[in-house]
Structure 1
């Protein structure tokens, strides 16, 4: 049986290239693309993946970085196929969110090429992407955060890259004027972005938006095995 066709979506070019070379040497047929960052890029990714008829999708991301985790979640939720995530993170709640979104499994970066190869083969044949016990553990960690906190994290993760940047600058104490000057836009534009952030986060003030951002990004999860 020929090896399955795999779409590799990597945040870093060099990491993606290294995995492509390694898997190609194992006779996998690889298509590589950059991680989509916008709704339009997600539409284009879905169209391209449908065109090439890949059997498995492989996302390579450092999900301790909330932005990379957000992008991985959006891709898995938007493009329905059998996904695996390879990451250096050992954050069980974030693993659990990926599995809850439809990911077949998460493979630690430290697991090595042999483990990844076996897992890709298993997933391409309709099998599991991780042991059932590990799957249940990470899903439980995600559920343990509670409905309100999970909802907050997902609302934060759904912000656009620019909204994300503005909120980070607000958290760091920058004024609307300073953010506008840094971004080369008017203060009115930044105020409109802040209003959009407040609406998406369902909060009434700029201060509450910053507090929500801190709560979502400063969660200190335990480690999974």
Structure 2
């Protein structure tokens, strides 16, 4: 069926980005396959990450179907749009339904977008990854596409007000080479390899990032190890 909603939404998003004068630094888009299924996996640092993740697939003329929490689909504005764009609702009490939906889409040649940290990382460092993305890729026989975002937290993230002014915020997006499971590799091991690759891409994006804090109080979006004042990552149980 023709895509009647997704392309206009992309056009609106691009117009918005131009209006607020975002500066994009996007690398690795050549790794996005032009056909066939794939699981696109990114870190999660802001509420608009799904929009920026989807931008990376546009040079390959692909649309990404995101797995998102079911409550977004119940909203009177976002719900109809999410359904029309064929995104996948995730009810954590019945996750097998979303998993089956995503698996069918992958086998039909779609790109599925997943944030394996499940929630926004308020420390802006990588949290532990859930294994669903790796299991989907293995079962569908498709590659994992690691990705990293940086700078998106400055626009809108958990615990901070939206900032949609013309602040010329740089947004960095990095896509890595496709990652496939090794023969006999279990999902947990593949997930750790995936997390390591996303971490490498994130560090590369941070090193190349052209943006700096505007003043002494504008360090909240930097993690502690980069000299910022973001909260430290949660300590593992028993640490």
Work out whether the TM-score is over 0.5.
Answer: no
Higher RCO (C-alpha 8 Å, min separation 6): 2
Using structure 1 for the length normalisation, give the TM-score. Answer: 0.30
The answer to which structure has the higher helix fraction is 1
Structure whose alpha-carbon radius of gyration is higher: 1
